[in-house]
Amino acid sequence: MEKREVLVIGGNRYFGKRLIARLLAAGDRVTVLNRGSSPPPAGVVHLIADRDDEDALREALGPRTFDVVVDQVCYTPRQAAIARRVLAGRTGRYVMTSTVEVYAEVHGEVHAYGDSVAPVRETDVDPLNAAVDLELPWHEPEFLDTHYGEGKRQAESVFAAEPAFPYVAVRVAHVLGGDDDFTGRLTHYADRIRTGEPITVPTVNHPATYIHVEEIADFLFWTVGQDFTGPVNAASHGTLTTRELCEAVAAYAPGGGTAVFQETTEPGEVSPFAFRRFYGMDNSRATRLGFTFGDVRQWLGQAVAETLVPVN
């Protein structure tokens, strides 16, 4: 296979670093661009720039061109607009890591799937039909944190509305696994199961689709070598309830214990992976394109053990 020039924006942790390892193993020439807070692995070209600074981004890239760009850290339409301007004419393909959360909000309102158990398809959120507001306070961390799905959706819309290059938006299911899971979500459950502290869930608690950290790295690596465009869902087969997830945590968590659930009808915070709407994604488009997903129940125990059981 001919070597590819691949730029990865971000990607220094979790499934991003696994993607870089796969690219290097395949013989690709990899350039990593980040703010310099952590060094990339050996064997890559390292560029340092703040992606929100358009001039700095242009200067860091210089005259470089790429076969594929994988953008792991595009969170807002402003960042997408800068990337589109700077990378126009520089890449033959652009892969944006998006999220299942794009299905949660449409024009700022809860998606109509709140009471549905039908898996969402890519066409349920068409970036061409979604409004973009560049004037929202996307630079404010608190605003961005509470509008994560909306930021990703609007970023997708920027690329779809004025495509400067063929683009893909990989809508990633909730990711589990790895001893470097930085989210603390499984640890949240393990701590409460061990101490007997209640786990708060909504009275109507919907299941969700998930994907293993190694599987999403495999999927992104596979996507780099394909030529399809547009949104694509990436999720393992099957769904999990919060109870099933907690049963797996109880089986592997140091100290053991039993999950105690506390239901609430009040708005506000609930435990991680406890959902008031159905977060199930239809993965049939990716399957038709040729990717083979695993089943969530086949790897769940492994994922929990990797995250919670210390390695001696």
Residue 62 lies in a domain: yes
What tokens does 20 get? 């870089």
State whether residue 14 is helix, strand or coil.
Answer: coil
Query: Which residues are CB-neighbours of 230 under 8 A, at least 6 positions away?
Result: 122, 160, 167, 168, 169
Residue 130 lies in a domain: yes
**What does each C-alpha distance from 103 to 108, 152, 253 come to in angstroms?**
11, 10, 32
What tokens does 104 get? 């949660």
> Mean of the pLDDT values across residues 150-173?
94
Query: Which residues are CB-neighbours of 217 under 8 A, at least 6 positions away?
Result: 15, 18, 19, 21, 22
Residue 184 lies in a domain: no
> Mean of the pLDDT values across residues 185-211?
91
Residue 243 lies in a domain: no
* Percent of the chain's residues with pLDDT above 90: 73
- Number of structural domains in the chain: 1
Predicted confidence at residue 105, as pLDDT, reads 55
Task: Tell me which amino acid residue 12 is.
Answer: N
Residue 205 lies in a domain: no
Q: What is the CATH number of the domain that holds 93?
A: 3.40.50.720
Q: What are phi and psi for residue 276, nearest 5 degrees?
A: -85, -10
Domain range for 57: 5-177+210-237+280-293
- Dist CA 132 CA 122 (whole Å): 18
DSSP calls for 110-174: E-GGGG--SPB-GGGS-GGGS---TTS-TT-HHHHHHTHHHHHHHHHHHHHHS-SS-EEEEEE-E
State whether residue 5 is helix, strand or coil.
Answer: strand
Query: Per-residue confidence at 221, pLDDT binned at 50, 70, 90?
Result: very high
- What tens digit of pLDDT does each residue of 240-293 get? 999 999 999 998 877 778 889 999 988 778 898 998 888 899 999 999 999 999
Residue 65 lies in a domain: yes
- What tens digit of pLDDT does each residue of 70-129 get? 999 999 999 999 999 999 999 999 999 999 999 985 333 334 444 456 789 999 999 988
Residue 67 lies in a domain: yes
Predicted confidence at residue 311, as pLDDT, reads 52
> Mean of the pLDDT values across residues 200-226?
95
- What tens digit of pLDDT does each residue of 137-155 get? 999 999 999 899 999 999 9
Q: What are phi and psi for residue 19, nearest 5 degrees?
A: -60, -45
Predicted confidence at residue 266, as pLDDT, reads 83
Q: What are phi and psi for residue 240, nearest 5 degrees?
A: -130, 140
- Dist CA 285 CA 280 (whole Å): 14
Predicted confidence at residue 178, as pLDDT, reads 92
Residue 135 lies in a domain: yes
Predicted confidence at residue 279, as pLDDT, reads 84
Torsion of CA 200, 205, 211, 216, to 10 degrees: -80
